[in-house]
Amino acid sequence: MSGLLRRHRDFRLLWCGETAGKFGAAVTNVAMPLVAVSTLHAPTFAVGLLSACTWLPWLLIGLPVGVWVDRLRRRPLMLGAAGLSLVLFAAVPVLAGVGGLSLGLLIAVALLAGAAAVVFQTAYSAYLPTLLAPADQAEGNAKLHGSASAAQIAGQGAGGFLAQLAGAVNGLFANAATFLIALLCLLGIRHREPRPDPRGRAARALTAEVAEGLRLAAGDVWFRTLTLFGAASNLALMGYQSIATVFLVREVGLSPGAVGGLLALAGTGGIAGAFAVRTVAARCGTARAMLLCELGLPSAVLLLPLATHGAGTVLYVAGSFAVSAGVVGGNILKASFQQGYCPPAVLGRIIASTSFLNYGTLPLGALLGGALGSALGVRTAMWIMTAGVPLAALILLFSPVRTVRDLPVRPGAEAREQHDEPDPGTEGRDGAEARS
């Protein structure tokens, strides 16, 4: 067991709970579209709409949630979100068992579970820096993202296997169970974060604090660049991911079990990215590592639309492996940059403001992918949306990220990196697939 896991009981609990939740989410990412396709016989656009509803709450409540996270303790918010998710995902197979499941109810569950995910993700991202010392945050982020990738692999494989064995609907029981594990792990954490200082904030309107978070994110060149890139990239990523199950079942000709296995195999790239990114960043710099993760590796996404039945599925696996490695590596780099660069008192609002755009384009991408798949055919839609992934990364290539070796560790530290000198403070730091 590594040093951080051995000496930090509360981090172990958070790590186990988050990993369990990611496993359940991966099961859901396979099971929910399969429920729509195989049980409810939904058309391609409806499957895209279902994926869109999972992410739509980032547009609807993402900004005010950031303010609540800064005003309140983060752990109780995470507990409430995990409890709601547990109830929602357990309700789907129960409703199916009594004949009450419909596409409308499935979409409602996706919306409510997405809202819970907004609260959990924002609170969790702001909670981690209060739990770990700054020197441990890079290691903590790498472990969390690496285990999340491993859980995604296992969850996708389990989702396909459960769908084949017990039906796609019953696979959602596994997700409900993982949120129960996450709930118990969070309850076991002994660390009690201090109550946020209410002075000077009680009289401030919610809209004023939302506006402050947006100003901070838009006014800083690093936050602005990474946010614009994340928004464009997620539009393309979700555009093809929302119709990937339809593509693999109807165009490539795979069974539900084979879909889960193929996605699990492709997802091993996330583990590779999590293990390699800190070494790459230490050797060539965090900014250069980000360009490799966000532009170099994901360009292999263009292999996906070439996939065919039989040996042609190797192309889908290879392309998805590279994309997964790049996305996870880039997310680790960004997470550590954000936690170190941003003042703790406004971290929740910064996370919510950047996520508002980053995740806000996900439902738009899902709808666009579904609409293109219905109008032009699924394979043509895959070509269009996958081409957008490397095009989005041009935002980073023509930004300050290209001109420096390392991302800055504090506001105003850009001058040093412009001379292409390693910054000791950044040595070894690291920050469905989506840009965080």
Whether 70 and 13 have beta carbons less than 8 Å apart is answered as no
> Beta-carbon neighbour count of residue 344 at 10 Å?
12
Task: Please tell me what DSSP assigns to residue 249.
Answer: I
* The pLDDT of residue 289: 93
Rounded Cα–Cα distance for residues 383 and 347 (Å):
37
Tokens 């492709």 -> residue: 266
Rounded Cα–Cα distance for residues 91 and 348 (Å):
31
Domains and CATH numbers, the chain: 9-191+202-426 (1.20.1250.20)
Handedness of CA 38, 44, 46, 49 (dihedral sign): positive
* The pLDDT of residue 156: 63
* The pLDDT of residue 424: 31
Rounded Cα–Cα distance for residues 49 and 236 (Å):
15
Which amino acid is located at 426 in the chain? T
Whether 159 and 170 have beta carbons less than 8 Å apart is answered as no
Helices (H), 310-425: 313-341, 347-358, 361-376, 378-392, 394-397, 414-418
* The pLDDT of residue 385: 95
Per-residue pLDDT of the chain (436 residues; tens, 9 = 90+): 455 556 688 888 888 888 887 787 777 777 787 788 777 777 878 877 887 788 788 888 888 888 788 788 888 999 999 999 999 988 888 887 887 788 888 889 989 998 998 888 888 877 877 787 777 776 777 777 667 666 766 666 666 666 666 666 777 787 788 889 989 999 998 887 777 665 545 545 667 777 777 887 788 888 889 999 999 999 999 899 888 888 998 899 888 768 877 877 777 888 888 888 888 998 999 999 999 999 999 899 999 999 998 888 999 999 999 998 998 889 888 888 887 787 777 777 777 788 788 877 888 888 899 899 999 999 999 999 999 999 999 999 999 998 899 988 776 555 344 444 333 333 332 335 666 6
* The pLDDT of residue 321: 92
| First-to-last C-alpha distance (Å) of the chain | 27
Residue 214 has which token pair?
A: 């947006």
Distance (Å) of CA 182 to CA 57, 336, 377? 21, 23, 40
* The pLDDT of residue 417: 43
Whether 327 and 273 have beta carbons less than 8 Å apart is answered as yes
* The pLDDT of residue 267: 74
* The pLDDT of residue 419: 40
* The pLDDT of residue 383: 96
Helices (H), 189-255: 206-219, 221-241, 244-246
